[in-house]
Structure 1
Amino acid sequence: MGTMRRLCFVLMVLSLAALVSSFPDRHTKDTHHNTRNQLLYILLDGFRWDYVDKQPASSLPGFTRFLQEGGRARWTTPLFPSVSYPTWTSLVTGRHAESHGIVGNYFYDPEDKDVFSLFDNDATGKAKWWTSEPVWTTAEKAGLRTAQFLWARCDVPIDGVTTTFCEPFVKIPGKRIFQQNIGRALDKLSEGFDLVQVYTEHTDYTGHTKGPESPEMTQTVRDLDDVILYLLNELRNRNLEDQVNIIIVSDHGMTSIGPDVTTYHEIDNYLDTSLVENIADQGAFMNIKVPQQNVDKVYEQVSKIPGVKAYRREDVPQQFHYQHHKYIHEIILSADKGQYLLASRSGKQVPERTDLVFSGRGAHGYRPDDEEMRGIFFAKGPDFKCGWTLDPIHVVDIYQVLTHTLAVTPQPHNGTWTHVEGALAQDGWRDGCSRTSTAAAAPTPGLATFLLFVSLALFRHTGPRRYVI
């Protein structure tokens, strides 16, 4: 009867396991948690924190499904200044502008009499500007393969290291290029690339030209939603759904401008430009290089501009993290929402003055406490919980999520781990997720009960026995 006894024991173990596995719960064990999953990192330029919430869920099935299967931060607090190039750099380094040195879309190096200028590829491509290691360099150093589509200056070597594949930023708005690059990104993921990054300026372009509250913006968000839905379906079709994490972010929001809602200020009406060396940027923000002997006089002049805060560099609020870099100059101007600083007509202005602003309907660059400057952080995948919502995070917090999911050691950064850890699966357990297909295939309670009944009956029949080991 020893064989029968062992059979009873096996049946009892199997039946109890079947019972336990059939109990409903809110946790799914991530079977990939001991391996590195792939990461798709998407940057939606100018995508304001409330764009998804302003439309019914039925109009945005892609974003709706994405957030149900993953989650979001309520919003991201933007960088100061809330403009593109500094924030793009923060999104891949986790550092504030004063730390990584890309302090504006336009800025001036007084030592070399040199300028960084947003749409000048030769200017922005100089190695001297790029002193902080981006996540793709860290990943490549760790032996991972990375690819970027329209991501700023992914082509600049850092410590002699370049990405495996890079198409750097050029201005190409629209839905078509975004969907095309998402398709190419999926191909890279199918090839086994570890980190793939995709940038689109579709919302930023529409926000600037038509305004954030326009019907055109409503359609633009739906355009992006179409592409997100395509992405989710393709991941499933390619059997990549359980091995690819997706993080979707934006760099800043957008506010309405125009003659009906905005007061425009000619900087030349207030500032004697003979007293300054350089004036960088315009609109919501200016960074002015002033010889030391002229600082007090210039500060007195620009302090008279209505609706514009003038700061000496040392007086910039600490929470802006915008004091300690050689490219941050003596006088900083920060406009209130509803105010706009027009560029100087002098030869000291970067970029050179144009009057295209008068046809614009949207702007950004305003202070981080302006809610219309807030951005997004959405994420889903095998390393994330489902249905989560984080309290607001800062844009510099996102970097450490990238390095965590890629399982690489982060570089020094300004992010706070406790701000983001609530989104991540803990020890492989994904709170809030439905059971996987493997779990769903476990024996049903009816079968489990039958097995347990048979094993108990056999146990009673054989009776207790003693075994000598």
Structure 2
Amino acid sequence: MSNHGRVGFHRPPPADVSDDSASDSDNEDLMRETRTSTDIRQLDRKILETEEEAEELLTNKEKDRRLQGLFARKDGPSSGVKLTKRERRRYQREAQRKGKKHPKEEEESELMYDMEEGHKDSSDSAASSDIDRLRLKELPQPVQGRSSRLWKLTAIHIVIVIAFVGLLLGAYKASRTHKSEVRPQSDTLTNGSSIFAPTTILISLDGFRADFLHRNITPSLSAFVQTGVSPEYMSPSFPSVTFPNHFTLVTGLYPEAHGVVGNSFWDPELKEDFFYTDPARSMQPKWWNGEPIWVTAEEQDVRAAIHMWPGSEAHIGIEPTFVDKYKGHELLANKVDRILGLLDLPGPFDKGASSDAPRPQLIAAYVPDVDRDGHLYGPNSTEIRSTISSVDTMLGQLFSGLEQRNLTDIVNIVIVSDHGMATTSTSRLVQLDDIIDMSVIERTDGWPLYGLRPKDESDIEPLYNKLKQEAASMSGFDVYLRDRDMPERYHFSQNDRIAPLWVIPWTGWAIVVKEEFNVEEAKKSGQVYHPRGVHGYDHEHPLMRAIFVARGPAFPHTPGSKVDVFQNIEVYNLVCDSVGVVPKPNNGTLRLPLKPIGLHDFMPPSDMPEDMPEDPPSSESSDQPTSIAQTTASNGTSTEVVETTSLLTQVSRPMIIATDAPVPTRPVIHDDVSQEDEDNNGKDTNLWWDWVMGKLDGAKDWATGLYDTVSDKISGAATESGNNE
């Protein structure tokens, strides 16, 4: 037993691996010879117990290591090193050699320490040193792998965070950019009794020429200019006639883009004619290819009310909340009552607001009076001065109504016109059938300019050459082919509804055919050409200039501010911005806020030419006012009549645009005084009847309002009584 004990605690000097193996073999032989069977069984039992405990410890340790590896990096240099089967056997042999001297608890403690720490001191044995060397060789690989995985995971998380932050910044920047481009007016305002979302009134004065503001007959509109912002004038679009330009005003599109290329035209695809005087045909959505502002507004939950605006009855997309059908001679006072009545409706923030008929944020109203009387009597007649004054009175009543409601600084007002007007004369007519054979022409489009569609397309070139030759030798017109030399600034070529060949009169001239007006016979008899006023010429000619004046919270500029001249394709964007809606793509580029270039001096424009001279009164029309051969110029506070001179010596040959004559397709010619008197009598009768109907409509509205009020009170009283019970 003493020998066994010596063997168990023998510690040989350090040696290489081969010596250690030989020593182990000798010790094992000696131990087998000196042990009894009982010792061997006890030793075997201890070995089995030791193996089971070691296996259990290894299993638990491996589980702990894996769990720790998921959440934290271990501090020990040997973490993650797994013992091989050979190493475990060597540990067991060492435990056997120590078993005689050390108690079981110390043996288990040493074994657990070796398992936990993965090494023993190098002085213990050569086997321990060998294990240390093996572990040191294996150690960097798993540690380096965990570090690499950790950095990969960290890098992935960093990339994800950077990408997410980038998306957030991109979305924020895009939203800021969008807002800066649109710049909508979105703040609500109150007049003390009601809350108003951004609200704009758009009023079109058909045929109101820009220089009409300088005739000392528009005190209300002139005062409005002094408190608002405006250019010196606004240019219409080509052709400068009512229907194309009114649709341009509310779409921001050139006529070639929105498809209403004239007051009358032929569509070769539909094989149908468009006549602006025939609502059954013209008020169909197939003719109107742009999206008007009332559709844009309604799609974005901004309610719209449209009063007689050309095209508003065509059922284009979403219907506006309110639509008033066209009435040719509606009293101006009724228009004021209608607009103010719409503003008096409860808004969405008010008690009693109706979801079916709420207060609109966009009100667009059309006033045809100046255009109508300009055609009948001419732009320099006494009658047109009276009409302009009446329209100005209407505007004054509207401004007063807004002031009474404390809405002057709450509601935006934008006043525009669609074109100007020029005086006609029998001496400025071109007899078209004296130049070309009209029998080869299948149809003509427009007026006063002529779009020609020959029966045979092969005749287009010969007709063009003939007309071009005559235009070079005589005054009054120019000739263009749609697909060859139509001026680019007209934007009048990219649509099949535009005829292939055009005869365009100079400003103040007109194209006629003999079946409508025989020029030679009229000159002999002294017959006066009608209409007395015409538009539809070159949209950049001074006599075709329109107006744009705006005031309100969307136009926070110094009173009387002046901006650069612009074309009417810009109006759509500006009105959209004023009520906070996003406009559809269009040809305009101007956005709010406007950028003034100074203040108006309120003097007549220096480049404004005098109007064309009119025909002298003839014996057959002696009751025509003599003032139509004159123009009125302002001089301080007084008004003097100045003789005019012909524009032919002052203005270069202009490009022309269509016009809207007060007749289906061509102007009505008044052959005698009795016919004109009859027209005037009919007009007076219509005015009286419209006045009566207007009063009846007003009484109906009053009765309806009274009924609704009484019904609400009765309903409220019944509800209160029920609650008390």
Partner residue of 2:443? 278
Q: Is the 8 A contact 1:33 1:383 kept in 2?
A: no
SS in 1 for 2:595: helix
2:307 is matched with which residue: 146, 149, 153? 149
Q: Which residue of 1 aligns with 2:283?
A: 125
Question: Cα–Cα, structure 1 residues 382 and 423, in superposed 2: closer, same or farther, change >3 Å?
Answer: farther
Amino acid at match of 1:388: S
What TM-score do the two structures reach when normalised by structure 1?
0.76
CA contact (8 A) 1:397 1:419 kept: no
Tell me the residue number matched to 1:313.
Answer: 482
Whether contact under 8 Å (2:186, 2:579) holds in the other structure is: no
Distance 2:542 2:225 in 1: 21
Please tell me whether the aligned partners of residues 52 and 221 of structure 1 are also in contact (alpha carbons under 8 angstroms). no
In structure 2, the residue matched to 1:239 is 406
CA contact (8 A) 1:46 1:250 kept: yes
Aligned-partner residue type, residue 130 of structure 1: W
Q: Which sections of structure 2, spanning at least 5 residues, go unmatched? A: 1-184, 189-196, 346-358, 517-526, 601-725
Change (3 A) 1:51 1:38: same
Letter in 1 for 2:434: N
- Once the two structures are superposed, residues 252-279 of structure 1 have per-residue CA deviations (whole angstroms, 9 ceiling, x without a partner) of 00011123xx421222222223323311
* Secondary structure, aligned partner of 1:396: helix
Match of 2:337 in 1: 183
Distance 1:51 1:420 in 2: 27
CA distance in 2, matches of 1:357, 1:44: 27
- 2:200 alignment partner in structure 1: 39
Aligned 1:60-459 pairs, distance under 5 A = 60-159=218-317, 161-172=318-329, 177-191=331-345, 192-259=359-426, 262-283=427-448, 285-290=449-454, 291-303=456-468, 304-305=470-471, 306=474, 307-314=476-483, 315-343=485-513, 345=515, 358-384=529-555, 385=557, 386-417=559-590, 421-422=594-595
Distance 1:252-1:343 versus aligned 2 partners, 3 A rule? farther
Report the Cα distance in structure 2 between the residues aligned to 1:100 and 1:258, rounded to whole angstroms: 33
Partners of 2:528 and 2:415 lie apart in 1 by: 29
Instruction: Report deviation, 1:206.
Output: 1.8
By relative contact order (CA 8 Å, sep 6+), the higher-ranking structure is 1
| In structure 2, C-alpha distance between the alignment counterparts of 1:96 and 1:170, rounded to whole Å | 27
List alignment gaps of at least 5 residues for structure 1.
Answer: 1-31, 347-355, 425-430, 433-469
Please tell me the residue identity of whatever aligns with 2:459: N
d(CA) in 2 for partners of 1:68 and 1:339?
Answer: 35
Tell me, yes or no, if the aligned pair for 2:573 and 2:591 is still in contact at 8 Å: no
Q: Which moved more, 1:265-274 or 1:76-85?
A: 265-274
Question: Shift of residue 238 of structure 1?
Answer: 1.6
Query: Percent of pairs identical after alignment?
Result: 31
Q: Give the distance between the partners of 2:461 and 2:218, measured in 1 at CA.
A: 53
Question: Hey, which of these two has a bigger chunk of strand by percent?
Answer: 1
Q: Report the secondary structure of 2:311's partner residue.
A: coil
| Partner SS, residue 72 of structure 1 | strand
Q: What is the one-letter code of the residue matched to 1:165?
A: F
Residue 399 of structure 1: how far off its partner (Å):
1.1
Structure 1 residue 115 displacement after superposition = 0.6
Is the CA contact (8 Å cut-off) linking 1:84 and 1:105 kept in structure 2?
yes
Give CA-to-partner distance per residue, 1:40-76, whole Å, 9 cap, x none.
1100000000101122xxx533113211221221111
Name the CA distance, whole Å, in 2 between partners of 1:207 and 1:88: 18
**Contact 1:282/1:342 (<8 A) preserved:** no
Look up the match of 1:49. 210
Would you tell me which structure has more helix in proportion to its own residues?
A: 2
Secondary structure of 2:529's counterpart equals: helix
* 8 Å CA contact 2:425, 2:509 repeated in 1: no
Secondary structure in 2 matching 1:422: coil
The more displaced of 147-156 and 95-104 is: 147-156
1:216-260 Cα deviation digits (max 9, x unpaired): 22222211111111111100112222221000000000011123x
Q: Note the C-alpha offset of 1:322.
A: 0.3
2:383 maps to a residue whose letter is E
